[in-house]
Amino acid sequence: MESNQNKPRYGMVIDLDRCNGCGNCTLACAVENNIPPAQPEENERTGITWMRVYKVDNDKPYPENRAVYLPLTCHQCDHHTPCESVCPQKAVEYDTETGIVAQIPVRCLGCRYCMTACPYHARYFNWWDPEWLKGMETTLNPDVSTRMRGVVEKCNFCHGRLQAARAKAAVEGRRAIADSEYIPACAESCPTKAIYFGNLADANSEVSQLAKDKYSFRLLEQLGTEPKVYFRSEQPWVHQKMDTKLSAAAKENAHG
Amino acid sequence: MNITRREILRFVGGSALGLLLTPIPWKALDDSAVWTQNWPWIPEPRRGDISFKLTTCSLCPAACGMRVRCVGNQPVSLSGIQTHPLSQGALCPMGIVAHHLRYHPARVSRPLRIIQKNGSSRSTAMTFDEALDDISFAMKDARVSSQTIAVVDGRPGRTASHLFRQFAAQVPYGRYISYSEVSLDVLGSMFEKPIGPLGYDLDHAQVIVSFGVPLCDCWGTPARTARYLGKKFEGKQKLLQIEAYRSRTSEMADRWIPIRPGTDAAFALGMAHVILKEKLSQAKSKDLSEFESIVSTFSPSVVAEVCGVSEDTIVETARVFSMSKPSVAVIDGLTNSREAQAAVMILNLLVGNVGWKGGVAVRREVPTGLADIKNTESINSNMYSIPDHSIRVMLIDESLSGCQLSDTLLQKKLAENGIVVSLSPFVTERPFCAQYVIPTPVFLESLTDLSSPHDSESSSMSISFPLVPSPTGVVDPIYFIQRLASAAGVVNIESGTMEELVKRRAGVLYGEKRGTVFNASTGQLSGVRNLLSTDDMWNALITGGCWIDSAEIVKSFPAFRLSAFLSKVDINKLQSGKNQLVLVPFIEKTVYSNSEISPLMSKVGQESGLRPFGCRAYLNPTTAEVIGIHEGCRIVLQTNKGSMEAEARYDASIMPGIVGVSNTTHPQNFIALCEMNDNAAICPTPVKIQKV
Amino acid sequence: MKFQFLWFLAGLCVMLFVGWVVFPYLLYERKEEPLQFSHKIHNETAGMSCENCHAFKDDGRFTGIPTLSKCRECHTDIIGTSPQEKKLVEEYVKQNREIPWLVYARQPQNTYFSHASHVKLANISCDHCHGPHGTTDSLRAYERNRISGYSRDIGGSSITGIKSASWDGMNMNDCADCHNKHNIPNTCLKCHK
């Protein structure tokens, strides 16, 4: 999947030094995407959190223990997209127009092969039919469909918002949308502005420039999935823990 | 002609072939597949016009500007207002899902009477008039037996607060009990003359010394984290976070100073000792000699031993605090003993930052435009100075953010035959008394004015304007107090609806011609002098805007006296279980409300384990191994006061020797386990752990 | 032998009849629209155009079938002679009740369609997808597929799925075919939400 300069490739850079693990992103994502609240027996394994925040620590004992909070969502893998390549139903498709990996729940038959294939644990299964409190179903977002029991779902960079931005541009006679017109719910809700979102194919965008920064890295780079979500931190221990190129370079320099 | 099986089979055979030549198989199959994807019990989103409306969140004093996305007239999602000068587009996790509160199963739409008998409770619905009759009867009884009638207000400064005060002033033995940021109330009580509403001016401080206050976790205003980080990365602000476990704020702070739980007072007094000894104090009060003698016992070596830190840490912190100007010390009011709060507030007095930019801000009262209340001093009170078991009728306004005062404290002050009347949108059961619940509107249904966040330089006022109607049967707190007043024969209560009274207030603010107004629809900040009319002010305020007072600088430092809280402070009592396991609450109160929360909050609790929730006990792995507990096993926490089952979890950021338990989701069981300090707040409690 | 073959033939014919005549008839449930609205009268006599009622909003969304507030702009009281208009004013306008129109072109919940890109950017005329609906004098009955629950307009009027005109049928294949003809990539996310 080569990047096409005429078509946007949406990506994110998440600043781990700014994330305080508040959980706004998780909640804003759930509100935007009609994700139902937990069933009584639901837990961390079965819960549906398209955007989930993990606490990553430096494995040191108290009081040297340090942590960063890592918001994790679908990384929209660009190359040999693992989930797409295993789906028997063609319910997953890499969208060449935007770079977003589409998960179409109406086509999914629930085999969960994609969940196994995803190296980032970004896919979630509907173990139960969605249930909202009486009256709460009136707060559902009409730009996103609801799903039923037995299908897999995941983040799609709030594609409904992209459609809305495009419709607005179309009514004004434009085909292209401005950067500020399309922002996913998680990035919008972040109180510390730790999530940067934009077009990686545009060399001048903030996201592109941050992605090339020496402090930015991706998770599991060695797998070659070419994820479009980057993380960034200026703390050396984070790079060491994530085994990034920067930490490898530092090790090389240290050993001369 | 005989019709045998063979003929029928031939017929069927022909039909089968015919079936394949008709559209039935593939059409029926296709349509059935579609049918299986559209089960009728899966809700579908409603259709409607999309619009964005602006209002202000009323869940806490931060009063964040809110942008409400509506489908038709129905709010479906919330986000911040980016240009809002106070909230800067940030919301807290509870705020993001606040539009679900209307549908909470604990919602009440009719007055309830709840009676506790033999450990079980029974609730009966009643009409509003019946409830008023009952309560005014109790009020008459209180008058006869000279017992107190108290109104408890956790969000003072509103129009409703003014009416509560009017009510309390005219009722025999009436008291108006307010609490806000208790540490600031403690500081206020140290001045010889009453000093205006106080706040922490965190925006302009060079150094902030925080004793366990979750500044970067939605305390004050959710935008605080972004503001602090911005300054931190430019080297303009330093945060020193002093607390036992590595909280989110400790992670982000410039420096984290781990101290043993419950030893905040000792550390603060140790700092004071250094400040006085090295003559770093700016305080100009005659009465320091008594304080000096108390503090003389808190030398760095003694305090280091108590707190579990090095002497250098104490000395260095004291120096950084007093030598960088401006600096401010903060401590949370509701979870620390008043002794600890007094000790920390004295640090502010010693560096002389009260009334200065970047220190403790002295703000001006925001005028309400309503009639002045005579003898207001005689009715004002805080819960701690009320004699025990003296309140016969306790009216608690829990309509916005629940009641932050603990049940233990309320029970202590309630008379044996006392009743509690809670103004709340949700059922709030108090297990120790007869109670009435008067249903009030919830966020997005109620119109209310909101006063200032704790962490801003000057006073401000915002209005939470309703976007949806409230259910029938629900009453505004103002309406309730007006009706109760007339039922009880109280004459001089402001009449008028909430909207009329708040609009009057906006007019009065306009008339004062001071401060600035932010209009969220235009994104503009303008001086009040430049507004054309009251309507401009009103329209700005009801659409997510705010009024911000001009800052006031105190010219001369107000005189203060030693706080009575410290006269009995004893270093020995400040030690907490050094060689025993100690139970400590995680203060998630900023994220989990004292009122109800949306069920979607399970995303950050139950479904991801991001925040501690329910019955989980967090231990350092070394502590757990010593006791012999592995992760995930069920344990029993046993204290002098009771026991509770929990699931054990490892957490390397917790100090060895302590067990952290979240105080979320109706923690009656957890509170029953813990020892209480004089603030009726939970204090670290020795605990034993056994495997189930 | 002949008789035996006749039985077979009888079975075949009966089933062919059931499949091609009875089944299409039974499959669709006919419902009349709550009001008989005449596009012709509104276009010609009242001099209105499509955009008067079916317009784009600033945010790019399409009004679709207008709400009662649009009808009320003219019909606060009876202004004509037809019994249908009397029904409109008495049963809906005066009682402030939205008219429960049965929408022929209603797509399922999982589908996204943007009128803005098709009308404004691709310049497709209304009748290309909706047929000569805008010139009719009355509203035909709404036909609902009893098994799938969708309108007959989605699958097409013919049971075979063979389109009689460009507006006959608007299911996924119809959209995809048109996109293919115009070299627009058919990515899932284009239409699914």
Tell me what pLDDT residue A4 has: 38
CB atoms closer than 10 angstroms to residue B367 = 12
Pick from B191, B214, B591, B177: nearest CA to B405: B177
- Is residue B180 within 8 A of residue B161, CB to CB? The reply is no
Smallest Cα distance from C147 to chain A, Å = 17
The one-letter code for the residue type at B205 is A
The one-letter code for the residue type at B648 is A
C148 touching B (Cβ < 8 Å): yes
B103 touching A (Cβ < 8 Å): yes
Cis preceding-peptide flag for A63 (omega within 30 of 0): yes
In B, which residues are within 8 Å of A192 by CB distance? 90, 225-226, 229
- Is residue B375 within 8 A of residue B305, CB to CB? The reply is no
Residue B643 buriedness (CB in 10 A; 0-12 / 13-18 / 19+): middle
- Is residue C39 within 8 A of residue C131, CB to CB? The reply is no
Phi, psi of B350 (to 5 degrees): -65, -40
pLDDT higher than 50, residue A5: no
In B, which residues are within 8 Å of A66 by CB distance? 246, 251
Interface test with C, best of B3, B24, B71 (most C CBs within 10 A): B24
Contact B22 C8 (CB under 8 A): no
Nearest CB to A136; choose among B71, B103, B217: B103
Look up residue A45 and give its two tokens.
Answer: 């394994």
pLDDT confidence bin for B587, thresholds 50/70/90: low
Contact A96 C187 (CB under 8 A): yes
- Is residue B25 within 8 A of residue B144, CB to CB? The reply is no
pLDDT higher than 70, residue B591: no
Opening angle at CA C9, ends C3 and C15, nearest 5: 140
A112-121, B623-632, C21-30, C36-45, range with greatest mean pLDDT: A112-121
| Contacts of C109 by beta carbon, 8 Å cutoff, 6+ apart | A145, A146, B38, B44, B45
B106-180+374-440+475-496, what's its fold?
Rossmann fold (3.40.50)
| Contacts of B24 by beta carbon, 8 Å cutoff, 6+ apart | C18, C19, C23
Pairwise CA distance, residues B390 & B149, whole Å: 9
By C-alpha distance, the chain B residue nearest A32 is: B77
CB atoms closer than 10 angstroms to residue B86 = 23
Domain ranges for chain A: 10-255
Pairwise CA distance, residues A186 & A161, whole Å: 12
Smallest Cα distance from A177 to chain C, Å = 13
Q: Is the Cα dihedral A217, A220, A222, A226 positive or negative? A: negative
A108-122, B211-225, B650-664, C117-131, range with greatest mean pLDDT: A108-122
Task: Considering only residues B197 and B590, tell me which one the structure prediction assigns the higher pLDDT.
Answer: B197
Residue range B228-237: average pLDDT?
A: 96
By C-alpha distance, the chain A residue nearest C113 is: A163
Pick from B131, B128, B132: nearest CA to B489: B132
pLDDT higher than 90, residue B228: yes
CATH architecture under which domain B50-103 falls: 2-Layer Sandwich (3.30)
Contact C121 A100 (CB under 8 A): no
Tell me what pLDDT residue A2 has: 35
Tell me what pLDDT residue C50 has: 86
Give CA separation, B211 vs A67, B55, B332, B335, C26, in Å.
20, 33, 7, 11, 75
Look up residue C24 and give its two tokens.
Answer: 């299409």
Nearest CB to A143; choose among C56, C116, C193: C193
pLDDT confidence bin for B567, thresholds 50/70/90: confident
Tell me what pLDDT residue C160 has: 82
A44 touching B (Cβ < 8 Å): yes
Torsion angle (degrees, nearest 10) of CA A160, A163, A167, A173: 150
Contact A170 C189 (CB under 8 A): no
Q: In what order do the strands lie in the sheet with B685-686?
A: B685-686, B582-586, B658-662, B616-619, B643-650, B634-638, B688-691
Pairwise CA distance, residues B559 & B584, whole Å: 37
CA atoms within 13 A on the CB side of B649: 18
Give A 158-177 residues with CB within 8 A of chain C. 159-160, 163-164, 166-171, 173, 175
By C-alpha distance, the chain B residue nearest A48 is: B607
Pairwise CA distance, residues A202 & B66, whole Å: 32
pLDDT confidence bin for A3, thresholds 50/70/90: very low
Residue range B44-65: average pLDDT?
A: 94
The 3-state DSSP class for residue A206 equals helix
Interface test with B, best of C148, C159, C193 (most B CBs within 10 A): C148
Look up residue A241 and give its two tokens.
Answer: 């823990």
Residue range B187-212: average pLDDT?
A: 91
pLDDT higher than 70, residue C1: no
Look up residue A154 and give its two tokens.
Answer: 């995941």
Contact C12 B15 (CB under 8 A): yes
ipTM tops the 0.90 cut: yes
| Contacts of B434 by beta carbon, 8 Å cutoff, 6+ apart | B113, B114, B115, B116, B419, B420
The alpha carbon of B207 is separated from its chain's Cα centroid by a whole number of angstroms, namely: 25
CATH no. of B198-362: 3.40.228.10
Q: Among the residues of B199-299, which ranges form H helices?
A: 224-233, 248-252, 264-277, 288-295
What are the DSSP calls for B291-314, one per residue?
HHHHHTT--HHHHHHHHTS-HHHH
In C, which residues are within 8 Å of B18 by CB distance? 11-16, 18-19
Tell me what pLDDT residue B279 has: 86
A66 touching B (Cβ < 8 Å): yes
Smallest Cα distance from C179 to chain A, Å = 14
pLDDT confidence bin for B215, thresholds 50/70/90: very high
Average pLDDT score, chain B? 90
In C, which residues are within 8 Å of B22 by CB distance? 15-16, 18-20, 23
- Is residue B24 within 8 A of residue C19, CB to CB? The reply is yes
pLDDT higher than 70, residue B293: yes
Smallest Cα distance from C139 to chain A, Å = 28
Contact B34 C61 (CB under 8 A): no
pLDDT confidence bin for B593, thresholds 50/70/90: low
Please count the residue pairs, one from chain A and one from chain C, whose beta carbons lie less than 8 angstroms apart: 75
Smallest Cα distance from B49 to chain C, Å = 8
Tell me what percent of the residues of chain B surpass a pLDDT of 90. Answer: 63
Average pLDDT score, chain A? 93
Look up residue A12 and give its two tokens.
Answer: 């994110």
In this structure, of A70-84, B229-243, B405-419, the range with the lowest mean pLDDT score is B405-419
CATH no. of B577-691: 2.40.40.20
Contact A53 B104 (CB under 8 A): no
pLDDT confidence bin for A1, thresholds 50/70/90: very low
By C-alpha distance, the chain B residue nearest C5 is: B10
C82 touching B (Cβ < 8 Å): no
In this structure, of A84-88, B556-560, B577-581, C122-126, the range with the lowest mean pLDDT score is B577-581
Contact C187 A159 (CB under 8 A): no
Tell me what pLDDT residue B667 has: 60
In C, which residues are within 8 Å of B14 by CB distance? 7-15
Give CA separation, B13 vs B2, B171, C13, in Å.
18, 94, 11
C60 touching A (Cβ < 8 Å): yes
Look up residue B582 and give its two tokens.
Answer: 């100690």
pLDDT higher than 80, residue B357: yes
Q: Running DSSP on this structure, what letter comes out for residue A230?
A: E
Nearest CB to B606; choose among A30, A35, A47: A47
Query: Helices B300-307 & B311-323, crossing angle to 10 degrees?
Result: 110
Sequence-separated contacts (24+) of C181-186 with Cβ below 8 Å: C182/C122, C185/A96, C185/A97
Residue range B100-115: average pLDDT?
A: 94
To the question of domain A10-255 being in CATH 1.20.1730.10, the answer is: no
Give B 551-610 residues with CB within 8 A of chain A. 591, 598-604, 606-610
Contact A27 B74 (CB under 8 A): no
Q: Identify each DSSP E strand in B57-204 by its residue range.
A: 65-71, 74-80, 112-117, 120-125, 148-153, 174-178, 198-200
Pairwise CA distance, residues B648 & B355, whole Å: 47
pLDDT higher than 70, residue B284: no
Tell me what percent of the residues of chain C surpass a pLDDT of 90. Answer: 58
Give CA separation, C107 vs A170, B52, C36, C104, C171, in Å.
21, 26, 23, 9, 8
Nearest CB to A20; choose among B78, B79, B252: B252
C116 touching A (Cβ < 8 Å): yes
Tell me what percent of the residues of chain C surpass a pLDDT of 70. Answer: 98
Pairwise CA distance, residues B29 & B19, whole Å: 13
Tell me what pLDDT residue B569 has: 76
Smallest Cα distance from C154 to chain A, Å = 17
Contact B18 C150 (CB under 8 A): no
For chain A, list the contacting chains (3+ Cβ pairs, <8 Å): B, C
